[in-house]
Amino acid sequence: MLNLAYTSSKAAVNMITVAYAKELWDTPIKVNAVDPGWVRTDINHGTGIKSPEEGAAPILAMVLLGPDGPTAAFVQDEGRLPW
């Protein structure tokens, strides 16, 4: 069953990510969204296939972006995803 509150909040986060990225486009600040994948957490009762360390890897990569890195991107381990 579709969880309306969860999916709606995810869509809102995506929208605000792009809005902030556009607002900050001409600054050194990068605004991106990261999909860490299915990570073992308390919220999924430990059923994720990735460890927390594996889930943190794409997030850390985006935190360490250089000045030529993307903005308004949606990324995961495998690279950029379409919005």
**Token code pair at residue 7:** 């999916």
pLDDT at 66 over 90: yes
Residue 35: predicted pLDDT: 95
CA–CA gap between residue 2 and residue 41 (Å, rounded):
20
CA–CA gap between residue 78 and residue 10 (Å, rounded):
20
Which residue numbers are catalytic? 6
- Tell me the pLDDT tens digit for each residue of 6-46: 899 999 999 999 999 999 999 999 999 999 999 999 999 99
CA–CA gap between residue 32 and residue 36 (Å, rounded):
13
- Could you give the 3-state DSSP secondary structure of residue 29? coil
Q: How big is the CA angle at 17 (ends 11 and 20), to the nearest 5 degrees?
A: 140
